[in-house]
């Protein structure tokens, strides 16, 4: 049976993230799943991993600077060797892409970034992704013995295993070299415990507002809350100071692949589209029916976003949503 | 730096060139005889040389163009191996500056792979970059984490579109750029082995997605309700995944 490694990252202590549950669901379909943690998992985390069919959990602490990709990657490589995995599956974020790159380099493994699903075919890992602003659908395969991939959020619905497992817990001895000449001077992790909305990168629905909001994000936020969605935006709005940089979707912002992407008052520049072209369904609201985002949408309303979004919220409330 | 399909410079790579120029200027300010140069390195078909030209118009001193049919369709690993080999031919190098993501591939991995290939420290997705006494300091904020890193050179740095404002090329530099030298290197020049030239991933199929055929509604006061109806009818309200 193919061994699949899923690195949980350092934030697993607080419970599994939705994206990690999705990756565990995909991993289980590929073979026997081993998870890698950096602190001893709590009983709750172990039970949750068991509910997703994980058979083994390896734990190894990371030396400082633990947040350097080159450090985390060495732990992943040790785990791959320890349990001879043929596939390493990461969630997809800036941080994990860097760790995945260092891991693939050390393993001499082929690397797939931002795939929207994976399967094995003749022992090879195959993954699909959208390319060139979502105009092409490509299927890539890995030709090396070991494959490393990052999977976009919302690629699959997370499903617990039909039969829960009791994961074996094992300490992983790993000799990790600290990268030369590198020093972390300061690190702060934003506190998201009070957040009422899902994280932008992982949300199943994203409602984004662009310059067409003229800085009034209330209609966008109200629709997002009616849908349980995250709020996104464009670079122009970040530059205006209307929303923080974390909310930016695009080439140089966050890549999102939600089930539904609703863009209001957004023209749809290539830089923006590159970051949301993996969305399942695209809805646009714009006064201009020629706007590129309208042209690539599945459904578009041509009109003033403030009234259209407010009316949509009202209709959703009536529906009981 | 990366060229786009039509050979122009991937825009965030203009920020990378700007950072490189600023690092050179800082080195010169500290020591006028430092002799630092900015070299624009690109890999791609013949047209990709335009990306190096564009960088030289901004002020890069010369160009290196890795160009070989054997490198067509290179995957991340081959791209990084070839770029690293080209960088080694330029030794000593203080810093390699890349963009955070190329617009077409959006892999965001080349910087990490170069750091791994070269065995250098990496300062990635830097929102600000400064250089003093052989040490580069960079601040980044990604995935809800804000960090300040410091690396003694040589180091790999990747920058974003907000790291700086790329300077506009002036007429004098546009003319001067024509005379700046570009070294063209083949895979053989770089001494790349068959293994290094073999892509580890392959595209099995690429299909053009059907032209989008949007259902467009002109708002007559019912547009918002229709938007809600669309989401409801297509079962797109599910919240369990969020
Ligand atoms: C190197 C580089 C990287 C970049 N990276 C990114 C990135 O990652 N993400 C990103 O988003 N951008 C990025 N950009 C910027 C990008 O090129 C665009 O400038 C930006 O996306 C445009 O933002 P916008 O759609 O909000 O504004 P605009 O392009 O001004 O569009 C506003 C839209 O609102 C519509 N509108 C106006 N009034 C109303 C109304 N009342 N109701 C409804 N619609 C209305 C208009 O018709 C128009 O379509 C980058 C640019 C560069 C050069
Ligand atoms: C749609 C698409 C999907 C792909 N998917 C995969 C995949 O899953 N696995 C795989 O192994 N390969 C893949 N490739 C191939 C990969 O894109 C190329 O190897 C490419 O040269 C580098 O990756 P990137 O565009 O993602 O660059 P990024 O890592 O996003 O680029 C970051 C920076 O690196 C520098 N850089 C990148 N390319 C060059 C270059 N040629 N010359 C000089 N500097 C450069 C630039 O400064 C750029 O801003 C894909 C290509 C495309 C077009």
Residue A237, SS3 per DSSP: helix
Residues A9 and A144 placed together within one structural domain of the fold = yes
What is the pLDDT at residue B2? 65
Q: Is residue A263 in some structural domain?
A: yes
User: Does B241 have pLDDT greater than 50?
Assistant: no
Find the A119 Cα to ligand 1 centroid distance in Å.
36
Ligand 1: which of A207, A217, A235, A302 to mutate, judged by most atoms within 8 Å of the beta carbon?
A: A235
**A295 inside domain:** yes
Q: Is B108 in the pocket of ligand 1 (CB under 6 A)?
A: no
Check whether residue A239 and residue A159 sit in a common domain: no
Please state, rounded to an integer, the average pLDDT across all residues of chain A: 94
Please compute the mean of the pLDDT values over residues A233-243 and round it to a whole number.
Answer: 97
Whether A300 maps to a domain, the answer reads: yes
The CA R_g of chain A, rounded to the nearest whole Å, is: 21
Chain B residues in contact with A307 by the CB 8 A cut-off are 219, 224
CB contacts, 8 Å: B212 with chain A: 295-298
Question: Tens of pLDDT along B167-192?
Answer: 999 999 999 999 999 999 999 999 99
Q: In this predicted structure, what is the pLDDT of residue A191? A: 83
- Average pLDDT, integer, range B49-67: 96
Distance CA B184, CA A25 (A): 47
Q: What is the pLDDT of residue B4?
A: 57
Give residue B238's pLDDT: 64
CATH number at residue A235: 3.40.50.1220
Last residue of a domain, one of A126, A156, A171: A171
Protein residue with its CA nearest to atom 53 in ligand 2 = B105
Name the domain boundary from A171, A196, A231.
A171
Strand order in the sheet with B62-66: B39-43, B62-66, B182-185
Q: Which atom of ligand 2 is nearest to the CA of B79?
A: 19
- Put simply, the answer to whether B149 touches A184 (Cβ < 8 Å) is yes
- What pairs with residue A249 in β-bridges? A254
Phi and psi at residue B170, to the nearest 5° = -95, 160
Whether A89 and A231 map to the same domain: the answer is no
Average pLDDT over residues A177-193: 92
Are A12 and A105 contained in the same domain?
yes
Q: What is the SS3 assignment for A19-74?
A: HHHHHHHHHHHHCEEEEEECCCCCHHHHHHHHHCCCCEEEECCCCCCCCCHHHHHH
Q: Do residues A209 and A293 share a domain?
A: yes
Distance CA B66, CA A131 (A): 24
Of B147, B150, B161, the CB nearest to A187: B147
Give dist(CA A127, CA A135) in Å, integer: 17
Read out DSSP for B214-236? -EEEE-SS-HHHHHHHHHHHTT-
Same-domain pairing of A161 and A234: no
The 3-state DSSP class for residue A220 equals helix
Count how many domains chain A has: 2
Q: CB pairs below 8 Å between A and B: how many? A: 291
**Domain identity same for A82 and A127:** yes
pTM of model > 0.90: yes
Flag whether pLDDT at B5 surpasses 90.
no
Residues of B in contact with A313 (CB under 8 A): 224
Q: Which of A5-14, A208-217, B35-44, B137-146 is the least confident region?
A: A5-14
The domain boundary, picked from A155, A171, A187, lies at: A171
Task: Give Cβ neighbours of residue B242 (< 8 Å, ≥ 6 apart).
Answer: A18, A198, A202, A203, A204, A205, A228, A229, A230
Considering the domain architecture, whether residues A12 and A159 belong to the same structural domain is answered as: yes
**Per-residue pLDDT tens over the stretch A301-312:** 999 999 999 999
Contact B206 A138 (CB under 8 A): yes
Assess whether pLDDT exceeds 90 at residue B3: no
Average predicted confidence (pLDDT) for chain B: 92
Residues 6+ apart with CB under 8 A from A81: none
Domain of residue A108: give its range: 3-171
Distance CA A283, CA A136 (A): 19
- What is d(CA A82, CA A229) in angstroms, rounded to the nearest whole number? 40
Domain match, A40 and A155 both: yes
- Minimum CA–CA partner of B152 in chain A: A181
The verdict on residue A191 lying in a domain is no
pLDDT of residue B1: 63
The CATH number of the domain where A20 resides is what?
A: 3.40.50.620
Ranges A13-17, A108-112, B197-201: which has the least confidence: A13-17
Looking at the DSSP assignment, which residues form a beta bridge with residue B118?
none
- Least CB–CB distance from A274: residue in B103, B113, B141: B103
Measuring CA to CA, how many Å separate A97 from each of A72, A104, B134?
12, 10, 28
Q: Are residues A148 and A228 in the same domain?
A: no
Atom of ligand 2 nearest to the CA of A140: 8
Domains, chain B, in order of start with CATH, read: 2-197 (3.40.50.620)
User: Nearest bound ligand to CA B160?
Assistant: 1
Which chain B residues are closer than 8 Å to A294 by Cβ?
214, 216
| Residue A232 belongs to a domain | yes
A7: tokens are 């690195």
Structural domain includes residue A187: no
Using a CB-CB distance cutoff of 8 angstroms, which residues of chain B are in contact with residue A98? 108-109, 112, 122, 124
Q: What would the pLDDT profile of B193-204 be if each residue is shown by its tens digit?
A: 999 999 999 999
> Higher model confidence: residue B79 or residue B34?
B79
Contact A90, A99 (CB under 8 A): yes
Q: Where are the alpha helices (DSSP H) in chain B?
A: 11-30, 49-58, 76-88, 110-118, 171-179, 194-197, 223-233
Mean pLDDT of B209-229: 94
What pLDDT score was predicted for residue B117?
A: 97
On the question of pLDDT at B242 being above 50, the answer is: no
**A117 lies in the same domain as A10:** yes
Contact B201 A140 (CB under 8 A): yes
> Which of B42, B102, B106, B200 is the best mutation target for the ligand 2 pocket, counting ligand atoms within 8 Å of the beta carbon and taking the most?
B102
Same-domain status, A119 and A59: yes
Position A224 in a domain: yes
Whether the predicted pLDDT of A11 surpasses 60: yes
pLDDT, mean of residues A253-274: 95
Mean pLDDT of A170-199: 92
pLDDT for the residue numbered B240: 46
Q: In terms of CA atoms, which chain B residue is nearest residue A156? A: B241
Residue A190 is assigned to a structural domain of this protein: no
Read off the pLDDT of each residue in A77-102 and give the average, rounded to a whole number.
Answer: 96
């Amino acid at each position: 049976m193919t061994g699949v490694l899923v690195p949980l990252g350092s934030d697993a202590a607080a419970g599994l993230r939705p994206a990690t549950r999705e990756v565990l669901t995909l991993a289980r379909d590929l073979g026997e799943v081993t998870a890698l943690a950096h602190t001893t998992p709590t009983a709750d985390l172990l039970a949750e991993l068991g509910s997703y069919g994980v058979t083994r959990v390896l734990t190894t602490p990371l030396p400082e600077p633990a947040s350097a990709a080159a450090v985390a990657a060495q732990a992943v490589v040790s785990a791959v060797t320890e349990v001879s995995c043929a596939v390493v599956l990461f969630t997809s974020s800036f941080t994990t892409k860097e760790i995945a790159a260092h891991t693939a380099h050390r393993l001499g493994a082929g690397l797939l970034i931002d795939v929207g699903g994976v399967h094995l075919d003749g022992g090879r890992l195959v993954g699909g992704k959208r390319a060139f602003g979502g105009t092409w659908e490509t299927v890539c395969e890995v030709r090396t013995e070991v494959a490393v991939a990052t999977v976009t959020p919302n690629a699959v619905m997370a499903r617990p295993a039909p039969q829960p497992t009791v994961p074996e817990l094992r300490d992983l001895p790993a000799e990790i070299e600290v990268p030369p000449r590198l020093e972390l001077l300061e690190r702060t992790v934003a506190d998201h415990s009070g957040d009422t909305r899902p994280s932008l990168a992982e949300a199943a629905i994203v409602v984004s507002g662009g310059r067409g909001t003229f800085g009034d994000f209330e209609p966008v936020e109200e629709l997002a809350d009616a849908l349980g969605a995250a709020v996104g935006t464009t670079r122009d709005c970040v530059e205006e100071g209307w929303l923080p940089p974390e909310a930016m979707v695009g080439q140089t912002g966050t890549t999102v692949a939600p089930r539904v992407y609703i863009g209001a008052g957004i023209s749809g520049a290539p830089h923006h589209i590159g970051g949301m072209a993996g969305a399942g369904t695209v809805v646009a609201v714009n006064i201009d029916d020629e706007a590129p985002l309208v042209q690539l949408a599945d459904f578009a309303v041509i009109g003033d976003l403030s009234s259209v979004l407010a009316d949509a919220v009202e209709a959703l409330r009536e529906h009981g949503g | 730096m990366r060229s786009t399909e039509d050979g122009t410079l991937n825009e965030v790579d203009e920020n990378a060139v700007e950072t490189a120029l600023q690092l050179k200027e800082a080195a010169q300010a500290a020591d006028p005889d430092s002799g630092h140069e900015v070299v624009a390195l690109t890999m791609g078909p013949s047209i990709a040389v335009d990306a190096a030209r564009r960088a030289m118009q901004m002020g890069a001193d010369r160009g290196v163009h890795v160009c070989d049919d054997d490198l067509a369709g290179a995957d991340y690993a081959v791209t990084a191996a070839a770029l690293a080999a080209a960088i080694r031919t330029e030794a000593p190098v203080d810093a390699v500056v890349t963009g955070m993501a190329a617009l077409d591939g959006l892999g965001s991995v080349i910087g990490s792979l170069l750091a791994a290939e070269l065995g250098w420290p990496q300062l990635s997705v830097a929102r600000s970059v400064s250089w003093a006494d052989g040490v580069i300091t960079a601040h980044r904020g990604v995935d809800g984490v804000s960090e300040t890193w410091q690396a003694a050179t040589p180091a790999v740095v990747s920058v974003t579109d907000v790291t700086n404002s790329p300077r506009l090329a002036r007429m004098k530099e546009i003319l001067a750029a024509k005379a700046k030298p570009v070294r063209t290197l083949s895979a053989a020049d770089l001494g790349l082995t068959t293994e290094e030239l073999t892509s580890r991933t392959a595209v099995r199929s690429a299909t053009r997605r059907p032209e989008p055929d949007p259902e467009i509604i002109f708002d007559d006061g019912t547009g918002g309700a229709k938007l809600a109806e669309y989401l409801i009818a297509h079962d797109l309200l599910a919240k369990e995944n969020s």
